[in-house]
Structure 1
């Protein structure tokens, strides 16, 4: 089975649970194991929260009010990409996100995504600017998928 969708969301906190619910619904309908679905939904939430907080325009025209989420379920893999139009990542962040200082309330999202996904790419959109977080995970399936009974 192959499923893909793409959302253009406003940079508002309310957009994060919307993207998460869509992903979880897609995974449930496809018969993906709930533990894998949960890991991917947490990683997606972190990537979206990062785009909402840091994905604003830095004075160069264009739309700074939106970011894009794209999800692909194809065969045994799910790939998710979150892209914004902000200033992008500093070179050191894109290579290896540094853990947040102890006691900090922010700065753990990229490290968490790396722990939850099988492969992660953190970088900047070539030619357009803005950050892109892309991650994928090998899927496991429910032993009795509900998709066949619907």
Structure 2
């Protein structure tokens, strides 16, 4: 995966909850232009939103800071980097805390256990996280061409009353 991107779109937003939607909207527009399916665009939006929200909540702890969102556009995939220069964390330590969700826990308690990272990894094709002098979350999603969505039935599967 060392080939050069066709285009690069950089976005810098304040590390505040109000601006996470801008990153999500930008990625959605880029993915739509690239030809991603509706479901894959929704996955991309959610993954970017989670990565940005993690940076807002944990990197700067409500203080001042910025989040950089880089979209590397390739012919067959998009590679998105969400970068903060705030508090780093131990990825292995957070991943150890993730696991089955116990009912009765608050959403904040679930988020603290690393559910956001688990969600990002389940939505994207490849995820790489580096926690050194801030955090870089690198996410890759491939374009799936000529794939029929599993929940879509073809016209030949309907019975005819002819």
- The TM tier, using the shorter chain, reads 0.7 to 0.9
Deviation at 1:86, TM superposition (A): 1.3
RMSD: 2.4
Q: Which runs of 4+ in 1 moved over 4 A?
A: none
* Structure index of larger Rg: 2
**Aligned counterpart, 1:10:** 14
Relative to 1, partners in 2 of residues 1:24 and 1:141: Cα closer, same or farther, differing over 3 Å? farther
Q: Which has the higher contact order (CA 8 A, sep 6+)?
A: 1
Asked whether the equivalents of residues 64 and 85 of structure 1 are also in contact (C-alpha less than 8 Å), the reply is no
What is the CA-CA distance between 1:25 and the residue it aligns to?
1.0
Say whether 1:123 aligns with 2:125: no
User: Closer, same or farther in 2 for the Cα pair 1:142/1:37, shift >3 Å?
Assistant: farther
How far apart in 2 are the matches of 1:35 and 1:3?
23
Residue 49 of structure 2 corresponds to residue 45 of structure 1: yes
After TM superposition, list the pairs within 5 Å mapping 1:9-88 onto structure 2: 9-56=13-60, 64-88=64-88
Q: 1:9 to 1:48 in 2, by over 3 A?
A: same
SS in 1 for 2:106: coil
Alpha-carbon distance between aligned partners in 2 of 1:132 and 1:138, rounded to the nearest angstrom = 20
Structure 1: distance between partners of 2:93 and 2:138 = 14
Structure 2 gap ranges (5+): 148-162
1:105 is matched with 107
2:92 is aligned to: 92
Q: Verify the 8 A CA contact 1:55 1:67 in the aligned structure 2.
A: no
Richer in helix (by share): 2
The structural deviation recorded for 1:140 is 2.2
TM-score (norm. length: structure 2):
0.73
Distance 2:26 2:43 in 1: 14
What is the number of equivalent residue pairs in this alignment? 134
